[in-house]
Structure 1
Amino acid sequence: MEAEWIDLTPENLAEEHLCCIIRTRKPHPGVEAKRQWLAQRLREGHVFRKLREKATVFIEYAPLETAWVPVLGDNYLYLYCLWASGDHKGRGYGKALMEQCLADAGAKGRSGVCMLGAEKQKAWLSDQSFARKYGFVPVDRTDYGYELLALSFDGTVPRFTEAARQGEIADQTLTVYYDFQCPYILQSVELVERVCGESGVPVVLEQVDSLEKAKALPCVFQNWAVFYRGKFETVNLLDAAGVKRLLRR
């Protein structure tokens, strides 16, 4: 049977499954926070395309001009997430979604598509080796291990902002920048706050709640970014053990 795809819209957003691993019949605070975030982003050209079933098979991308990342460039799409996992992995869904994104970029006259990568694959980042098969290559990089990958149609390339390339802040306190694009963010914020409170360690939790804040961030960002002692640490979500390891440094 041919796969059936559906795009989230303001009309169907309240009812559609959001494709992450969270499975519950009751409203989940993180999922509902993502719905609210998406309700605004869909008006800005954000695309959330998914398999029409309860599965972790989806892609999210947006015009770079309105993408909540510290990346600049003219006429690009920014690919946030591309996932096909669990029993649905290895069935060609990732290929189909990538090709749909590239076709959409071409049909809209875009200059290309870009995404966040790293010198070594990081958890919570889409598979960059998969993207490279389609011609994505590094076009910019930071000194702290992250790259901007792009597939250019016309020879132009996007770039990190100068602030993002620095990866430093003046505050030495554990600092987390976050938005609610990912359903796991809310519980991760609560976990970091709880662990730091139990340890008697101060923490700064900075919600990125506007495009302007996202474009001005002092590091790469995919909806979560952690600093400690003034240095950028990771875009990976932290569990309790991860927070404690970081604080022991």
Structure 2
Amino acid sequence: MEFITVNRDNIDREHICCAIAEKRGETCVSSKKAWMKERFQDGLVFRKLDARGKVFIEYIPAEKAWCPILADGYMHINCFWVSGQFKGQGYANQLLEQCIADAKKKGKRGLTVLSSTKKMPFLSDPKYLKYKGFQIADTAAPYYELLYLPFDENAPVPKFRDCARQCKINEKGMVLYYANQCPHTDKYAPMIREIAEQHSTTVTLHKIETTEQAQNAPAPFTTYSFFYDGVLVTNEIFSDKKFEKFLASINS
């Protein structure tokens, strides 16, 4: 199978992998595609397998990344995913190799990617990346790792911005920071607010809509960061059932 690049010319007819299984995915897809269209001018690249599956890599120059990092001259991997029947066939290696080649062609110093101390939902697999030569550049509470793959030994070491190191905010109660970098947030963010209201409580939503806002966010994963009483709870998008379970836990 071949890989294709999603760009301005074909984005309206191509699927974007991570939302193809969504039963009511049109809102999800349109919000993500709108986000991508605005990022193409910043150098966003979306490479995927030419098949109906979740096999893709998305990356952008680190100076324009929606991640609070300092990594001038690097290329930042937003999302890197191979799942289901496509695992174990070498597609991850091919996508990473293509990303490396593209970054070198564009004169980058290396790659960065947001990961974690152990594999977690929505974050890149640290075991695989470290096997491929990525190193820990920096860490942030409670489990984030900024990994990097320098192209030469003199490349500077990237780091998190101070605003995101502690993953704490001053607001009390339930607070969600989110962005349309993920196709599912536009559906699930309002959903938890509605569920909270049904339980006579509230969730404060902060939608990140600019690169500047993302780079000054209070947590490394700007796509979805849920806080309770000022402390990060999860970067995993709450389903209705998982959010109901969380509400029960804080009210028990």
- Which TM-score band applies after superposition, normalised by the shorter structure? over 0.9
**Cross-structure match for 1:140:** 138
Q: Are residue 80 (structure 1) and residue 42 (structure 2) matched?
A: no
Identity %: 35
**Cross-structure match for 2:223:** 223
Q: For residues 245 and 24 of structure 2, what CA distance do their matches in structure 1 show?
A: 33
Q: For residues 80 and 153 of structure 1, what CA distance do their matches in structure 2 show?
A: 19
**Cross-structure match for 2:190:** 190
Q: Residue type of the partner of 2:67?
A: V
- The structure-2 alpha-carbon separation of the partners of 1:163 and 1:24, relative to structure 1 and needing over 3 Å to count, comes to closer
Q: Are residue 129 (structure 1) and residue 123 (structure 2) matched?
A: no
Q: For residues 170 and 15 of structure 1, what CA distance do their matches in structure 2 show?
A: 43
**Cross-structure match for 1:102:** 100
**Cross-structure match for 1:152:** 150
Q: Residue type of the partner of 1:149?
A: L
Q: Are residue 9 (structure 1) and residue 7 (structure 2) matched?
A: yes
Question: Structure 2: where are the runs of 5+ without partners?
Answer: none
> What does the per-residue CA deviation read over 1:132-180, in whole Å, with 9 as the maximum and x for residues that have no partner?
1111111101231211111112331111000100211111121111111
Relative to the length of structure 1, the TM-score reads: 0.94
- Please say which of residues 114-123 and 21-30 is displaced more in the overlay: 21-30
Q: For residues 137 and 115 of structure 2, what CA distance do their matches in structure 1 show?
A: 10
> What does the per-residue CA deviation read over 1:19-62, in whole Å, with 9 as the maximum and x for residues that have no partner?
12534798610111111111101111000001112211110010
Q: For residues 130 and 3 of structure 2, what CA distance do their matches in structure 1 show?
A: 24
Q: For residues 18 and 73 of structure 1, what CA distance do their matches in structure 2 show?
A: 27
| Residue 227 of structure 1: how far off its partner (Å) | 0.7
Q: For residues 69 and 246 of structure 2, what CA distance do their matches in structure 1 show?
A: 27
Q: Are residue 64 (structure 1) and residue 62 (structure 2) matched?
A: yes
CA contact 1:19–1:58 (8 Å) conserved in 2: yes
CA contact 1:80–1:222 (8 Å) conserved in 2: no
Q: For residues 190 and 24 of structure 2, what CA distance do their matches in structure 1 show?
A: 19
Q: For residues 15 and 46 of structure 2, what CA distance do their matches in structure 1 show?
A: 11
> What does the per-residue CA deviation read over 1:49-89, in whole Å, with 9 as the maximum and x for residues that have no partner?
01112211110010000011111121011111111111111
**Cross-structure match for 2:29:** 31
CA contact 2:208–2:222 (8 Å) conserved in 1: no
Q: Residue type of the partner of 2:47?
A: R
Q: Are residue 238 (structure 1) and residue 238 (structure 2) matched?
A: yes
User: What is the 5 A alignment of 1:172-183?
Assistant: 172-183=172-183
CA contact 1:192–1:243 (8 Å) conserved in 2: yes
CA contact 2:176–2:205 (8 Å) conserved in 1: yes
| Residue 222 of structure 1: how far off its partner (Å) | 4.4
CA contact 1:138–1:149 (8 Å) conserved in 2: yes
Q: Residue type of the partner of 2:148?
A: A
Q: For residues 18 and 118 of structure 1, what CA distance do their matches in structure 2 show?
A: 24
